[in-house]
Every structure is written in structure tokens, then in C-alpha cells.
Structure 1
Amino acid sequence: MPGVQPVTSLTERRKAQTQLEISRRAAELFSARGASSVTAEQIAAAAGIGLRTFYRYFRTKEDSVAPLLAGGVTGWIAHLGDPAAPADETVGQALERATRQALTPSEYPTEEMLEWTRGLLRTVHDEPDLRAVWLRVQHDSEEALVEALTPLMGPDADPLTVRLVAAAANAAMRIAVETWAASDAPVTGPEGPAELAVGCMRRLVDQANARNLEND
């Protein structure tokens, strides 16, 4: 999965930091001007690197925002598998907890990073190549979510059910973040992305339960 990954060596940490810095600068430029009006040279200059170095990390200018877009996803998955989580936590509770942790401003993500993501997502729909990156991040997120949910749902869980839960949760997160990004809502509070995403997940569960009652 693209984005911020667990790293062990000093070289890997420096590489991850450089990738994220490039991603932040690209997000700032794309948000202000639109991706079509920004060049790879401009992103490299804003990040304080040469163009050759830029292309050592990213194939295209649009690819350079993948670490920022995927960073929240990576955090979401990591929080979901937190060994310090309550032993009796349900899958739904785990998803809500991890969602709040991933979308509430902290050391990571910071409020500034969430605002960068907001600006970036506002340009996604008008930039086909940028949207392709966002959709790829979402695909990778769903695949990673399947792996994270499998142990939480137990060894007897039907693989198809696990995939359906992962797809539904991932869609709820995506819709919530896109809805928040399109608004002027604050980063925190009941209208922030964390509570909006939790609300989307609860609505999904409520709709499923209502459908089950109708079929009984």
C-alpha cells in the first residue's frame, strides 16, 4: 500500500520523510492552482529537491500526492490493529475507534495535514489523473482493510463477509472524507471528518439492520 509505511532503517525513514514532504508541497500547489497548472519542476522546487530526485521517488506529478492521501489510510489500519485495544471490543467499535484516531488532529495527522487533504480532494473530481491516484489509494485501502479485519472477525468468518465489511467500511470512510472536504466544516467537532465518518458507518449498520427486520 502506498503512503506512510512502517520503516526500520535510517535510510528508509529519510526516504519516507522526503516522500511526505514532496507530497505536502504538491498538495499545496495542486490545491492553489489545480493539478493541470502545476509542473513536476515546480513541485520539486517547492520541496527543495532537483527534478531528477523527484522522479526517483515518483513516476508522475499526480503520483506525488499518494503518500498524503494514503497516510490517513495507513494510520486507520494501524489503529485498527492496536494491541492495546479492549479485548472485548466488537468489530464495529474497533472501526469507530480507529476512525476517530485516524481523522482527529494529533501529532499525526496534524490539523494542517487534514486541511491539505481537504484542498487536494476538492481538486480530485476535476483532474482525471489525480482522481486515478485517489481511486488507487482507495483500492489499496480496501485490500489492507481485509487483512486487518480478518483476525478481528475471527477464524471462522466467511472470507466473502470480511470483504463485504471491508468494502462497506472503506466506502463509508471515503464518502465521509469527500463530503467533509467539499464543505467548510471545521477539522474537529461534530461536523469534522472523524465524527462524520463514524456517523456514516453507523448509518450503514442501521440501514442493514432495518433491511433485515423488513425481511423477517
Structure 2
Amino acid sequence: MAGSGGASSSGLRERKKAETRQALRTQAARLFAERGFADTTVAEIAEAAGVSLRTFFRYFDSKEELLLPDLAELFDRLARELERRPADEPALVALREALLTVTSGPRTTLVALLHPLEGAADVVTDRLVYTFMKSEDRFAQLLAQRLPPGPDVDLRASVLAMTALSAVRSVLRTIRQRRETEEVPVGTFARLLRSAFTVLAEESSKV
């Protein structure tokens, strides 16, 4: 019985953490929309969510981080999308389609890169690029599950993961550069990601 009570308490704590994290994201989004990103402070976000500044920084390093996707949720969704792809589909094609699915829904914040909040766009883009760089191992693990067994399957999965993530980073950098001189329309991320993966396929066929 004691063990059951401990598990229940642990589950309650995790649920409370998730609720607090979501409250901070929700209140931040509301304040950003009402006051603008630059004119909203961390203290105001914390107060609106009913938590202390100290609690805020237990969950997020800065208000910019609130604009980034929830990476745990993102990878969970990516894994589920990869599982749904046909078993005989090439790994890079499966990853491309899974990425397009998880980054085009309303629960992601990549739309913020296309219609950025004033004063936040460059910081968010840079952090998202850095986040993808740190995620190569997780991507490699997901891809390894789709590759046929054989020698150096871990190497093949790592090469594919790093190649795919390089394509994502290239798309984000391209969007950022174009945004300096022109308006970037909705749908640009998906279009450029498909183009980037086409480049990868064309170049790999020449090797």
C-alpha cells in the first residue's frame, strides 16, 4: 500500500508540473498578444500564471523559451508519426513527412518564425537551430528503428539523422535571411523543407 501511495503522489506532482508549465505558456501567449513580446516581462507572466519568479525559472530560462516548441511533446509526436509511416518507405522520406506533420499543426510554434513577434524572431530562430543540433541522438534512435538490420546500422541512422536535421536548420536560416528583406508567407517552412529533402535525394543519387 505504501508503494501505491508513493506512485500516486509522484503522479500528482508530475501532473501539477505539467499544469504549471502549460499555465505559463498560456498566460505568456495572452500577454504577448495583448502587450507585445518586448513589453511583456517575466514577472508579469509569472504573476498572471499565479506563480513566483523562482518557480518560473524552474521551468523556463527566459521568456524567449516560451516561444519554442515543447521538445518532449514534439519528439513524442514525431515518434508516433514515424510509426504510422509505411514500413517500406525510405527513412528520409518518412522523417520528412513526419516532420511536416508535427511542425504544421496548431500546437507547434514554428508559425511564430513566419509571423514573428517583434523583438523575438532572431533569438527564437537561433535557439531552435541550437535545439535541433542537440537532438541528433534522439533522431538517430528514431530512424534506427526503421532501418533494416545490418552492419553499422547505428552509423547509417546517425548520418541520416544529422543530414535531415541539417536540412531543417538550413530551412530555418533561409527563412530568417529572407525575412530581412521580404515578407515570408505562411506555408514557406513546409515548401522549403520539401525542397531541402529533394536536394538531399538528388545529391545522394550522384554519389
Residue matched to 2:91? 91
Greater CA radius of gyration, 1 or 2?
2
Alpha-carbon separation, structure 2, partners of 1:175 and 1:20 = 30
User: Taking CA–CA contacts closer than 8 Å with sequence separation of 6 or more, which of the two structures ends up with the larger relative contact order?
Assistant: 1
Alpha-carbon separation, structure 2, partners of 1:45 and 1:117 = 27
* Correspondence list, 1:203-214, <5 A: 203-210=199-206, 212=207
Residue matched to 1:116? 112
TM-score, length of structure 1 as denominator length: 0.66
Alpha-carbon separation, structure 1, partners of 2:126 and 2:105 = 27
2:168 to 162, 165, 173: 173
* Correspondence list, 1:59-70, <5 A: 60-61=61-62, 64-65=65-66, 68=69, 70=71
Alpha-carbon separation, structure 1, partners of 2:118 and 2:134 = 17
Matched, 1:194 2:190: yes
5+ residue gaps in structure 1?
Answer: 1-7
Count of matched residue pairs: 189
5+ residue gaps in structure 2?
Answer: 1-9
Measured on the aligned residues, the alpha-carbon RMSD in Å equals 3.6
- Superposed CA deviations along residues 77-117 of structure 1, whole A, max 9, x for unmatched, are 324532x33222221321122022112235x34xxx44335
Identity %: 24
Q: Is the 8 A contact 1:153 1:162 kept in 2?
A: yes
- Superposed CA deviations along residues 135-162 of structure 1, whole A, max 9, x for unmatched, are 5411332121011011112221523332
Q: Secondary structure at the match of 1:68?
A: coil
TM-score, length of structure 2 as denominator length: 0.69
Matched, 1:142 2:148: no
